[in-house]
Structure formats: structure tokens, C-alpha cells
Amino acid sequence: MDASDKFAQTYLEEAGELLAELETAVLDLEDDMENPELVNCIFRAMHTIKGSGAMFGFDEIADFAHYVETFLDKIREGELAVSKEIIDLILVSRDEINRMLNALNNVETDEQDRRDEIIKSFAQFADGHSSGLAEESEEPATPSDSPPQRSTKQQKVYRIRFKAGPDLFLHGINPLGLIAELSELGELQAHFLPEYIPHLSDIDPEKCYLAWDMVLNTDVEENAIQDVFIFVLDKSEVQIVNISSAAEEGSGLQPKLGEILINRGDVSSNQVKDALTRLGELLQESGAVSREKINSALSEQNTAKKYRAVSKPTSIRVPAEKLDFLVNIVGELVTTQAQLSQAATGVTSAELLCAVEGIERLSEELRDCVLGIRMLPINTLFSKFKRMVRDLASDLGKEVDFVTEGAETELDKTVIERINDPLVHLIRNCIDHGIETPEERKRMGKPPRGTVTLTATHAEGEVVIRIHDDGNGLDSEAIAAKAFEKGLIESTDNLSESYLFKLIFEPGFSTANSVTDVSGRGVGMDVVKREIDSLRGAIDITSEQGKGTEIILRLPLTLAIIDGLIVSVAKEQYVMPLHCVKECVELTRDDVEKAHGKRIIALRDELVPYIRLREEFSIKSEEHDIEQVVIVETEGTRVGVVIDEIIGEKQAVIKSLAKVFHGVEGISGATIMGDGAVALILDVAQLVRTACRREEAMYH
């Protein structure tokens, strides 16, 4: 038997006793109709039967007893005189309750009818008197029935002013308990208001003079806060205001005076802040408000601020042009800062140097920060491909799983936009040319479903994107034959695989046996390569016949700024992108003579061809006795670039050249140097390509 059964059993026994008590009292009342104590006794018995019955689930008994009790109350209050009929009726209802107690669980409908009949009879007696029998109560329900419902909904900020009533202690209420209870609902800041405490001589130690201003940041409804104060509401001043809703409504209102003045540039925001701090002081001095109330208002402001901070969306949308503009300005700033640094080199003032260094550091941080804003996860791109792969595979009757990795890798927005088309093309190629049909794959002993993997990773200030398929790989012989046929190469002998693979990036090269709908629509791999080049990226390909192909794209994180190596030829400065610079060596006249006219230098045990920038750009001036060679590497090829002097490293903000210069080979842009001079940025990849072509022309 569990606890509630036990209570029910106790109730049944108790109710039986009460009914017996009641019966005795009613019979006594018959002899002594004016005795109020007897009426009281009868009333109490009925009251207990009702109250306890409701407690333990005997609702029918409780309901019925309620009617009888209400009727008895009228007699007790003297509204009705006891009569023989009334006594009969009470006895009948007593018997009815007794029957209900004995016949629990098998209530018949005629019993209900009989009960209604008795209630009606009571009602007849009560009729003509002020109120009906079944009066409704407006009283608040039992407080804190259950822990307040914490919804996962919005956070709200309430301003609560609680001024405890003077007789709170005399009611056994501890106001601190209420504050503790409030703090369980959320983040509470309470400010004690001492101003209601009288002078010591006037203090009655049994009286309560306490008051608080509180700000509660919570997710509960106002009712739950009311509940906390339920026992003190009528004795104390309690104000609860939801200031978060007010704040939301107010946010669209006209700007405040301070805001307008700041917007007009009449005052600075610091001046307004100063004035506002003084506002509190002024109000306090004039005696309008106490220091504590100002503190409390300040904490409300803070909470409201915090509330706004958490409840408002954490991102804002900004037009891309604004960002571009910002990047531009930061570019200018970096340039100016460089000028400043340069100008400061001759200065001995430690103070100035310190400031210059500070500016240098800050502008670097600012630049990184601004460039970071332009970064987007590559995921936006990757997710588009899923559908494309699926559709394409089913069109071609192939089965392909598409796997992406590193979708969270961030890249400059412009880069992401511009690699879309190349990636589409590369992935199409993978599926069209790479992955075989399921039958073919089975024949090769591979699983019928092919896999295309798209991976993005950060590596050394670059983003590396790999497109890998487990298809049949590149057929180097077919490529050689095709290249020969197209006149790209003069013989098919002695060509390395990696050289052959690169041929597929040459204009007009296509190895697909037939022109399908997917590839071979005029956009070849050469277009892909050109696009990647223009992004200052690199493309590489590895393949193993029968196993698969991997295309590797290396892309700069951003297009706006490059780390460059400043070099000079004939006093003119040039910038070489640092990412392709491998090392720098000297080139003496001896070295040149030893090479017997061949433009090759010995770099440890490797021979590296070189080009002379002076010649490439047709600069007419004397060669230095000792020249410098910058060894650059692009697309897996090492080439030296001969220049006069190496000046140093610099972050160069890229300025695009006017349209007239777009066709100029070997130059990708310009930058402004610290001294205000313009330096051209070398397109190293193109220089190297030109050099290789010339060299091949020489040997073939």
C-alpha cells in the first residue's frame, strides 16, 4: 500500500468518525436549536470531510459536502434559522455521505440524482437569501505550486522595486528569502535602497524598513515573479516592469538629443558620456534622487545593454561594396603606414619611433581583421556541388559518391566567387572522364560506386583545394598522342608523365573520345588554368592510371594584399609575390662565363635556368658586376629571375592597372611604395612560362 492509499484509508476512517460526531451534534441541535457551538461543530465536521476529501481524491464527496458546508455556513452566520426540516435535510445528507463512503467505486446514476435532489432542497431553503450556494472565489491559487516554468524562450529583463512592508517581520517573512528566490529565476542585480531607514532614534527594531531596486534577467513570465511576492503583495510595495519589451518598442523611436548632436558632429560621443555621468551627479546633488537609485538605474542600463547584446542577432549584413571600400582604405592605411615607417628610419626620437611601431602593429591587426571579415566558409560552394554531382552521375549512368572535407575552411569572398566555375568544370571532368561506368568498374575489380572527394585545407597562407576521383586516371600515352596530333609537342618520346599531364591545361586540348553534353563544350582545362592563374593560384595534377586523378588548386587567402619581395632593376622597384620565391643567390660575372652562354646556374647539385628581368622588360642600362638571382617556383618548375638588387620584404596592397595595361605580359598589378613611388608587381608564373617556352624553343 503506497502513501496515498494509506492516507485514503485514514480519511475513510476519519470521515466515518466525523459523520458520527456530526450525527450526534445534529440530534443535540434538534433539542437545542439556538446553540451556536453545535452548529459550529456540525459545520467543522462537514468542512473537514470536504477539505480532506478533496485532498485525497474523494472529489464526489468533497463536492457534495461543499454544498452542505456552504448551507451550514449560512446557519452559522445567522442568515438562516435552524428548523426541523433543515435538521432532517442535514441528516439525509449525512446518510448520503455515509453511503458514498461505503459504496466507493460503484456509484450509480440514481445516487447522483438523489444527491442533486438533496442539493436542490438545500437550495430551496437558501433561496431568497443574498447569495447562491455555489459562490465562486476569486482568490489566487496556492502559490509556487510547481517550480516556475522555465521556457527556453526569450530572455526578458524585469525592473523590480520591492519596498518591504513595515510589519513583514511580524508576519514571519524574511525579505532576503524573497531575493534569494528571485535570484534562482535568473541573473539578478539587487541594489539596496537605504533611504527608507529612519534615524536610529526612530527605529522600531521589529519593523522592516528595507527596500531594493532589482534588475532580473530571466526567461520566466511575469506571473512567476509575482508568485515570489505572493505572500507580501498586500503588505509591501512591489512593482514589476518588463523593461525588455519597453526597450524593444523604444528602439525604433526618435534618436536622443545626445545621438543627434553626435551625428551632427557638434559634440563627440565622449563629451556626451561625460555629460551623462554628470547628469547622475547633478540629479543627486539637487536631491532629486539618491545615489543608490542612480546606481540601480545604471545597473538596469547595463543589464538592458547585455540583454540587447544577447537577444539581437549576432551578425549584420553589409553590402559587399562597403567591405571593398573598407579593404581599400585599409590598403591606403597600410601604404601610408609604410611611408611613415620609412620616414621614421632617420629619426632618433624614441618617442616617435615608439608611436610608429605602434601604428605599424595596429595597422597590421586592422588589415588582418578587415580581411577576415571578407572571409567566407567554402561550404557555400561545396554544398552546391552535391546536387550537381548527383544529377550528372545519373545522367551519365554512373554511380558516384560525393564527399567533401574542410567545408569550414575560409576564403576571401571574391576568391570563392571566382573559383566556382573552375571547380564546376573540374568536378564535371572527374565524373565524365574520370569515374567509369559501374560495369567497367566491376570489370576492373573496383566497387561499382565511384567516389569524388573535394577537400579544402589551409596551408602556409594558402588554401589548398583537392579534387580527387577514384576513376581510371589519365592515360599519358593518349595525352601524348593527342598533344602530338594537335601540334602541342613535336615528338611523343621521352616526355615525363607530369609534363604530359600539364598538357591538358593547354588551349584546345580535349581527350574525351566523344563530345558529351557534360564536357567538351568549348570550355577546356585551359580556361580553368587561366582563371586560377588570374587568382594568383596554382593548379597541379597527379594521376595514376586505373587508380584515379587528383587535381590540386592552391589559392591565396585574399586578393587584396600580397606579401612581396621588393627587388630593383636599374633603380626601378618591382614586387615579386613572396609565396613563389624559394631562395636568393648571387650571380657573378664568373658564373655567367662558366655557363658558356647558357642561362643556367648551378644551385647546389641542380641546374636552374634563369631569365634576366632587364631583358624581359627591355631596360637599357648597365648590368651590375654582381647580380642577384631570385629563384622562384611555380607549377613545379624552378626558374631564376635575375635582378640588380634585393631590397626587402613588404606587404603590398595590390592596385590594379588601367585597362590599357591589361595585356602586358609579366605584370599583374602595381603597388605604391612607402616613398610614394609606384612598383610593378611581377606575374612570376607568366614570366616562368615565357622562359620555359623560350628554352624549349632553343632545344627543340
Shortest distance (Å) from residue 177 CB to another protein: 5
Query: Distance between CA 508 and CA 486 in Å, rounded?
Result: 8
Among the residue ranges 85-93, 134-142, 304-312, 491-499, the one whose residues contact another protein (CB under 8 A): 134-142
Could you tell me the sign of the dihedral formed by the alpha carbons of 373, 378, 379, 384, in that order? Answer: positive
Does position 139 interact with another protein (CB under 8 A)? The reply is yes
Specify the pairing of strand 548-556 against strand 462-469.
antiparallel
Does position 101 interact with another protein (CB under 8 A)? The reply is no
Does position 204 interact with another protein (CB under 8 A)? The reply is no
Among the residue ranges 141-149, 157-165, 374-382, 476-484, the one whose residues contact another protein (CB under 8 A): 141-149
Contact present, 682 and 575 (Cβ < 8 Å): yes
Q: Which is nearer to another protein, 143 or 508 (CB)?
A: 143
The residue whose grid cell reads 561506368 is 437
Does position 189 interact with another protein (CB under 8 A)? The reply is no
Does position 70 interact with another protein (CB under 8 A)? The reply is yes
Phi/psi for 80 (5° steps) reads -130, 145
- DSSP one-letter code for 105: T
x-or-dash pattern for another protein, window 15-54, by CB under 8 A? -------------------------xx-xx--xx-xxx-x
Q: Which three cell numbers stand for residue 495?
A: 616526355
Shortest distance (Å) from residue 37 CB to another protein: 9
Among the residue ranges 136-144, 253-261, 474-482, 566-574, the one whose residues contact another protein (CB under 8 A): 136-144
x-or-dash pattern for another protein, window 335-374, by CB under 8 A? ----------------------------------------
Does position 6 interact with another protein (CB under 8 A)? The reply is yes
Of residues 36, 132, 143, 636, which one binds another protein by CB under 8 A?
143
Give the residue among 433, 528, 428 at the shortest CA–CA distance from 473: 433
- In sequence order, what DSSP letters do the residues of 526-584 get, joined into one string? HHHHHHHHHTT-EEEEEEETTTEEEEEEEEES-SSEEEEEEEEETTEEEEEEGGGEEEE
Sequence length of the chain is 700
Does position 128 interact with another protein (CB under 8 A)? The reply is no
Query: Distance between CA 646 and CA 565 in Å, rounded?
Result: 8
CB count in 10 Å sphere of residue 235:
17
Among the residue ranges 167-175, 299-307, 588-596, 611-619, the one whose residues contact another protein (CB under 8 A): 167-175
Does position 100 interact with another protein (CB under 8 A)? The reply is no
Between the alpha carbon of residue 247 and those of residues 279, 296, 311, 680, the distances in Å are 21, 17, 12, 55
Phi/psi for 464 (5° steps) reads -110, 125
x-or-dash pattern for another protein, window 558-597, by CB under 8 A? ----------------------------------------
Phi/psi for 189 (5° steps) reads -120, 120
Q: Which is nearer to another protein, 145 or 351 (CB)?
A: 145
Q: Which is nearer to another protein, 207 or 449 (CB)?
A: 207
Shortest distance (Å) from residue 148 CB to another protein: 10
Contact present, 411 and 378 (Cβ < 8 Å): yes
Residues within window 674-693 making contact with another protein, judged by CB under 8 A: none
Give the residue among 551, 540, 579 at the shortest CA–CA distance from 426: 551
Query: Distance between CA 40 and CA 36 in Å, rounded?
Result: 6
Contact present, 135 and 221 (Cβ < 8 Å): no
x-or-dash pattern for another protein, window 47-66, by CB under 8 A? xx-xxx-xxx-----x---x
Does position 93 interact with another protein (CB under 8 A)? The reply is no
Residues that bind another protein (CB under 8 A): 3, 6-8, 10-11, 13-14, 40-41, 43-44, 47-48, 50-52, 54-56, 62, 66, 69-70, 135, 137-139, 141-147, 169-174, 177, 180-181, 206, 228, 230-231, 234
